[in-house]
Structures are given as structure tokens and as C-alpha cells.
Amino acid sequence: MTRREILRAQLLLAGAVLALWELLPRIGWIDPVFVPPPSRVLEALVHLWGLGLLGEHTRLSLGRALGGFGVAVVIGPLLGLALGGWFPRLRQALEPLMEFFSQANPVVLFHVVLLFFGIGESAKVFLIAWLCIWPIAFAAIAGVANVDPELLRAARAFRLSRPALFVRVVVPAALPSIFTALRLAAGQSFIMLIAAEMMGASSGLGWLVVQSQESYHAPRIFAAAGLISGLALVTDRILLVLEARLIRWRPPLDEGRVLLAGGAER
């Protein structure tokens, strides 16, 4: 299928789902009190925007999520590349501790963080960064460890110094693993954002969900949840575009499938 055909199929499927969602509550098959139709959700979005609440809550939530994710984007790859490429013995010593930190329950950790940072922006950004750093760091370590040895031998034949070898060969080879982790971490950042705003905030989309729940306003709950999902989806697409531009040497996914199919036919 061409990209245009895939896009057409995606739009048709999305339209069918929305039409079914609109129909079922209206004919009484689903209780509209708990699952309102998309038209009512859209009305709630427009109403919140008219009140000036939607833009402010979205700005605050997006700033918190991107702030924590941005810290992880800086620390995670540097930590992973350094431990995986330059300090392998230190990595072996720190790996159990890193595994322990990565498995710490962020919801429980939130209450501990509040003791140090208080109820403010720092606690939320710290928790989001903490949750995102570890998968990125582990992906960078794995990316370095899985560099093709033949590629390293070919690069050493050009008498590259160790720093040049690391920058020109190892880092580009590890980028696909790092970008996969970045996309996963970006999604996790919005999940942690909502948890943090539900437990210790007086603003943001997560706080708006809690307030809407307490007032039994289902359209606002769906509106805020849909907006959060949309922000996460846009962030993921931006990372996809950035990955495609930085990793030009890797064939697109569709092209790889065609090559695999061609090899299977032979």
C-alpha cells in the first residue's frame, strides 16, 4: 500500500470509530452520563477554551512534561553512552543500583520527593525526569553494546582515534536504540505528569480531570484525557520526524519490509 492509501484507510477507520461512538450513546446502548458522545466532548473543549481555562492548563501541563523529558533527554543518553562506551567496569558496578532505581514506584516516590521539594513545579519535573532517564540510559548502553564488530574493525582500519571512533561510529550506531527509548519515555512523561497533577497540583490537565470527576462532568474528563493523548501523540510524531532526519542511513520501515519480502520470495 502507498502512503496515501494507508492515510486514507486510517482516516476512514477513525471516522467509523467516531461515528459509532457518537451513535451508541444517542440510541441508548451506552449510558451517555458515563460515556458522552464526541459532540458533547467537543462542546466541553470549546466551553473550556472560551473560559480561558483550557489554554492555561494545557500550557502548564505541557511545560511540566517537556521540562522533565528534556532533562532526561540530556542526562539519559550521556549517562548511557558514557557507561556503555567509556566506563564498562563502572557500568557493571552501577548496573544493579540503576536497575533498583529504575524499578522504584514513581507514585510512591512522589510522596518522598514532596518532602524535599514541596508541592511545586520542581517535584513534578524531577519525577518525570526520574522516570524517563532510566529507559533512555539503558537503551544507550544496549545500543553501544550491540554495535556491529565488523563495523568497528572497518573503522579502526582508517586509524581513527578512540574519541573519533566513538563519535563517528558508536554514537550513530546507537541512535536507533536511543530514539526508540526516547519515544517510550515521552509517552511515560505524560503518564507521570497526570499522576503528579492528580496528587499534588492545583492546575494542569491532570488536576482538571480530578475536578471534573468530583463534579461528575464526564465530557470534561474525556476532553482533558483526549487532549493529553493528543499532546503525547504529537510529541511522538515530532520524535519520529527527528529520528528520520538524523538517521538517514537507515532504510524506512516499509522499504525494509519490501526487502525482507523479496528475500523470502527468493
11-21 confidence digits (pLDDT tens): 899 889 889 88
Main-chain phi, psi angles of 159, to 5 degrees: 60, 40
Sequence-ordered alpha helix ranges (H) in 146-217: 149-156, 162-165, 171-200, 205-214
What Rg value do the Cα atoms of the chain yield, rounded? 23
Whole-angstrom distance, CA of residue 90 vs CA of residue 77: 16
SS3 content of the chain, % helix, strand, coil (to 5): 85, 0, 15
Backbone region of residue 190 per phi and psi (left: phi > 0; alpha: psi in -120 to 50; beta: other values): alpha
Whole-angstrom distance, CA of residue 61 vs CA of residue 205: 6
163-211 confidence digits (pLDDT tens): 888 888 888 888 889 999 999 999 889 888 888 887 766 788 888 888 8
Q: For the whole model, what pTM was predicted?
A: 0.80
Q: Is the confidence at residue 261, as pLDDT, over 80? A: no
Q: Is the confidence at residue 144, as pLDDT, over 90? A: no
What pLDDT is recorded for position 260? 38
Cβ of 182: how many Cβ atoms within 10 Å?
24
Look at residues 183, 82, 191 and name the one whose alpha carbon lies nearest to residue 136. 183
Q: How confident is the model at residue 252 (pLDDT cuts 50, 70, 90)?
A: low
Q: Where are the domains of the chain?
A: 52-248
Q: Is the confidence at residue 262, as pLDDT, over 60? A: no
Average pLDDT for residues 66-82, to the nearest whole number? Answer: 91
* Nearby residues of 130 by Cβ (< 8 Å), 6 or more positions away: 101, 104, 106, 109
> Could you tell me the three cell numbers for 154?
572497518
220-236 confidence digits (pLDDT tens): 888 888 888 889 999 99
Q: Is the confidence at residue 39, as pLDDT, over 60? A: yes
Q: Is the confidence at residue 266, as pLDDT, over 50? A: no
Architecture of domain 52-248: Orthogonal Bundle (1.10)
